[in-house]
Chain A
Amino acid sequence: MNMLLSPNTQWVLLSTLILGMAAGMIGCLAYWKRQSLMSDALSHAALPGVVIAFALYGSKNLLVMIVGAAVSALLGAFFISWIRSSSRIKEDTAMGMILSVFFGLGIMLLTIVNRTGGGNQSGLDGFIFGQAASMVRKDVYTMLILGLIVMVVVWIAFKEWKLFLFDADFAQGLGLSSRWMNGIYTFVLVLVIVIGIQAVGVILMSALLIIPSVSARYWSSSFKQMIILSALFGGAAGVIGTMVSAIGNGWPTGPFIVAASSCLFFTSMLFGSEKGLVVKAVQLRIQRKEAAKGWTQQTTAMKEVQP
C-alpha cells in the first residue's frame, strides 16, 4: 500500500486514468464507425516508427517517439486504405497484412538497435507490453496534455461527430466535409494509440479502445451517455490495472489494465441495464407470461363466441 502513496505512482496513476478515458471516448467513435480492429492494426504499425525515432534521436524522449509512432501509424492507415481502394483485397486482409508486416519490420529494427545501441535503450522492449512504471515526470506531462487534447476534440465537436457517424449523407448536406472529419478521426485515433503505447504496449493497446465502448453499449443507447460511460470504464480500468500491476515486481502494466477492462465488460454484459443478459432474461420471462395470459384470454373469448 505504501507504494501507491508515493508521488511517482500517483503520477503514473493519473496518466493511465487520462489515457483510459481518452481511449474510451475514441473507442466509441471507432465502434460506431465499425472499425474496432483498425486500432489494432495501427498500434502494431506504430512500432517501426518508435524504433526509428529512437535510433535517430539517440535517447528515449517520449515526444520524439510519439511523433515517430504517429508517422508510422498514419503510413499504415494510408496503405490500408490504398490497398483496399485500388485492388480487390478486402479491408480486414489489408489490416492483417499491414499489422504483421509493420510489426515484423519493427522487430527487425528493434533487434538492430538493441545490438548496436548503448545501454539506455533497454526501455524499448517495454513498448511491446507496456511498462507504465518506467515513465518519468516529463512523460506523464506529455501524456496528460495529449490525452486532454484528444478528449477536448471529441467533446467540442460532439454534434459533428454524431452527424458524421450516424448520418454521413445528411452531414454532407449540411456542409460538413466527410474528408476532413475522416482526417481528424484518424488523427485523434493515432494520437490516442501512440500515447498509450508507452503504458500498455503495441499489442494490447487496441483493447483499451475496443473493450470500454462495447461495455458501455450494454448500459445505454444514447451516444452521449455511451461516450461518458466508456470514458469512465476506460479510466477505471486504467487505474485498477496500474494498481494491481504495481504489486508485483516487474509485472507489465498492459495486460493488467486489459484484464481489469474485461472484468468491467463481463459485469456490463451480465447486468447492463440496456442489453444485459440478466435484464434480457427477465424481460423475456415477463413477456412470455403476458403473452401466455393474452392467449388464454383470447381462447376463452373465442370459446364464448363460438356456439
Chain B
Amino acid sequence: MMSYTAWILLTASLVGACCGIIGTFLILRRMAMMADAISHTVLLGIVVAYLLTRELSGIHMLIGAIIAGLLTAMLVQWFHNKGVQQDASIGVVFTTLFAIGVILIAVQAGNAHLDVKHALMGEITFVPWNTVTLPLVGDIPQAVLMLCAVLVIILFVIIAFYKEWKLTSFDPALAASLGIPVAAMHYVFMSLVSVTTVASFDAVGAIMVVAMLITPAAAAYLWTDRLSVMLGLSVGFGVVSAIIGYYIALWLDTSISGSMAFATGLVFLISFLFSPKHGVVYSRLFHNRKPLLENNET
C-alpha cells in the first residue's frame, strides 16, 4: 500500500505528464489562450452534468467537460467566422460560459459537493481519501484512476497519429493539401484538452491547470527544436514542477495547486535565462541578440 504523500506525488506527476504532452501541441498550434478558455468553460460542463444527473462521478464529469470544451471551440470559431477578432471571440465566449457556470452554482446554494473554490483551486489533499476498489490493484484514488485513463487515451491518440499531429501543427496548409482532415483533428485536439483539464481538476483546479499546460511546454520550447525532445522535456518539467510545488507548499504551509503553478514559473524562468539555445543570458554573452527572421513584431 502506498503512503499518503506517495499518492499525492503520483497524482501531481500524472497531471504534469498529461499536461506536458497536450501543452506542447497547444504552444506549437498557437492556441495557448484557447486552453485558458477551455479550462474555464469546463466548469460549466461539470455544473450542468451535476445538475442533470446529481452525481459527481468521473464519467459524467468527463462527458460534460468534453461537450463544454467542444462547444467553446465551436463558438469561438463561429464568432470568428462572423467577423469578430479571434482573441475577442475567445474572450466573449469563455467569460460568458464561465459566468453562467458560476451563476448556476451560486443559485443552487447550499451544495456541499459543488464548490466554486474547490473547482478553481483544486484540493489535492483530499485525493487519497476518495478511493475506488479495483480487482488486482486494490484501493486506488479515483483521481489517479482517471488521470491514468486520460494519459493512456492521450498517448494512444498522439502516438497513433504522430505524423499527422506533427504536420497539422507545423504546416496546416500542407497537411490540408495532403488530405489530412485538419478541422476534425482540431476538434479532436480540443476534446483532448478538455479531458486533460477535467482530469486535472481535482488535483490542481481549473486555473492552475493552465499553468501546468502552458508553462512547462514553453520552457521546453526554449531548449530544443525537435518535437520528440520537446515532448519529453515538457513532461519532465511538468513532473518536476509538480513535485517541487508540493514541497514548497509543505514548507510554507500554503495552497498546493498555487505552489505548483508557481513552480512551473520558476522552471520557465530558469529556462528563459539560461537555456543554451534561446536563453537571455546566453544571447547576451555571445552577442547574437535576436535572429532577424524570428523577429515577428506586428
- Give chain A's interface residues, CB within 8 Å of chain B: 31, 34-37, 39-40, 44, 83, 85-90, 92-97, 99-101, 103-112, 115, 125, 128-129, 203-204, 206-207, 210-211, 213-214, 217, 248-252, 254-256, 258-259, 262, 265, 269, 275, 277
- Quick check: B98 and A203 within 8 Å, CB to CB? yes
**What are the 8 A-B residue pairs with the smallest beta carbon separation, nearest first?**
A104-B261, A101-B265, A207-B95, A100-B211, A107-B258, A210-B91, A258-B99, A108-B258
- Quick check: B262 and A101 within 8 Å, CB to CB? yes
- Rounded to whole angstroms, the CA-CA distance of A83 and B222 in the bound complex is 11
A44, A97, A99: residue with the most chain B Cβ atoms closer than 10 Å: A97
Contact of B283 among A86, A110, A129 (CB under 8 A): A86
Chain B residues with CB under 8 Å of A214's CB are 84, 88-89, 91-92
Segment with Cβ contacts to A, from B26-34, B158-166, B185-193: B26-34
**Which residue in chain B gives the minimum CB-CB distance to A202?**
B207
Chain B residues with CB under 8 Å of A259's CB are 96, 99-100, 103
Chain B residues with CB under 8 Å of A112's CB are 252-254
- Give chain B's interface residues, CB within 8 Å of chain A: 27, 30-33, 35-36, 40, 82-85, 87-92, 95-96, 98-100, 102-103, 106-107, 109, 116-117, 120-121, 207-208, 210-211, 213-215, 218, 221-222, 249, 252-255, 257-262, 264-265, 268, 272, 278, 280, 283, 290, 294, 297-298
Chain B residues with CB under 8 Å of A39's CB are 91
- Rounded to whole angstroms, the CA-CA distance of A90 and B272 in the bound complex is 13
Chain A residues with CB under 8 Å of B214's CB are 93, 96-97, 100
- Rounded to whole angstroms, the CA-CA distance of A203 and B210 in the bound complex is 13
A37, A104, A106, A262: residue with the most chain B Cβ atoms closer than 10 Å: A104
Count of CB-CB pairs between chains A and B under 8 Å: 204
- Quick check: A207 and B258 within 8 Å, CB to CB? no
Q: A97-B218, A107-B255 are in contact. Are A206 and B91 (CB under 8 A)?
A: yes
- Quick check: B36 and A277 within 8 Å, CB to CB? no
Contact of A83 among B27, B40, B272 (CB under 8 A): B272
- Rounded to whole angstroms, the CA-CA distance of A64 and B82 in the bound complex is 43
**Which residue in chain B gives the minimum CB-CB distance to A244?**
B103
- Rounded to whole angstroms, the CA-CA distance of A213 and B95 in the bound complex is 14
- Quick check: B33 and A89 within 8 Å, CB to CB? no
- Rounded to whole angstroms, the CA-CA distance of A93 and B24 in the bound complex is 11
- Quick check: A87 and B278 within 8 Å, CB to CB? yes
- Rounded to whole angstroms, the CA-CA distance of A105 and B249 in the bound complex is 11
- Quick check: A210 and B92 within 8 Å, CB to CB? yes
- Quick check: A93 and B222 within 8 Å, CB to CB? no
- Rounded to whole angstroms, the CA-CA distance of A36 and B214 in the bound complex is 19
Query: What would 12 more interface pairs be, CB under 8 Å, given A97-B265, A101-B262?
Result: A40-B36, A90-B27, A93-B218, A96-B210, A100-B207, A100-B261, A104-B257, A104-B264, A111-B254, A203-B120, A207-B99, A213-B88
